[in-house]
Amino acid sequence: MIATESPNPSEPSRVSIFGTPIQVATYQSMVELVNRWSREPGVKTVAAVNVHNVTLAAEDPRHAANLKTFDAIVPDGMPLVWWINRFSAHHLKDRVYGPSLMLHCLDASQQWEGSNYLLGSTPEVLKNLQIKLHERFPKAKIAGVYSPPFGEWSAEENTKIFQLIRASGARFIWVGLGCPKQERWLAIHKPQLPEGIYFGVGAAFPMHAGMLRQAPGWMQRNGLEWIFRLIMEPKRMWLRTVKYNTLFTYHTIRHVMGKKPSP
């Protein structure tokens, strides 16, 4: 069994999955942690990782290094929850799904000081997202939104984004760029980011905007969301699903045999 304690006793313990330190967290513990961070200076980053993300880190040292810059990495997929329950002394009942964590924090932020910023996706998605969030959380403050250009960003574009976030005064910055772009961007630019708490939440934007369907609850609870995503987006998802699900099984077998990840 592999389990490591958090370097900060007030934060959740961590379990290493193929070298990636995953926090043994719940929605409640993360909301409490974010609330505490919101009253502290500096930059904090949160990643919600699934089988794809963790296995990519086991295969790619660059992605592994990017993830290790994050202050909290939570188990976004049920297979990671099962992995933690099987190979550590901890027991989790549920995952910390990125889109749901966003809703939990936005709900709680209605009682906190500090506003939110939405970075990523298209102007249409951001427009619908703001409407949906206002209907659901009328007291949550959206200080600004920005739909960046597709592709790699220039130094000037990054500087523009930093300036927009800083000018908004937002404390909670939601980054929906998809994996691994959002993790890479947050890791590389963490020293330059304006103060705040940054969350990499992947497809949460179109989901909460009502423009991308989520898997039924029973599929999510049983770790079958990948089948739903595969059906909905076969061209984009089939290769990634087959490749990384297979590699996750491979690295789990290696772990059982006592072998370390070998990129």
pLDDT tens sequence across 56-111 = 999 999 999 999 999 999 999 999 999 999 999 999 999 999 999 999 999 999 99
pLDDT at residue 259, rounded to an integer: 61
pLDDT at residue 193, rounded to an integer: 98
d(CA 191, CA 9): 25
- Tokens at residue 27, please? 């929605």
Cβ(102)–Cβ(130) under 8 Å? no
Query: What residue ranges do the domains of the chain occupy?
Result: 14-208
pLDDT at residue 169, rounded to an integer: 96
Helix or strand or coil: residue 58? helix
Q: Sort 236 into a burial class: Cβ within 10 Å, 0-12 / 13-18 / 19+.
A: exposed
Question: Would the pTM count as exceeding 0.85?
Answer: yes
pLDDT at residue 228, rounded to an integer: 65
d(CA 263, CA 249): 15
Find out if CATH 3.40.50 is the number for domain 14-208.
yes
pLDDT at residue 263, rounded to an integer: 44
10-residue stretch averages of pLDDT, the chain, 263 residues long:
47 89 96 96 96 95 97 95 94 94 96 94 96 96 95 95 98 95 97 97 92 74 70 66 85 82 48
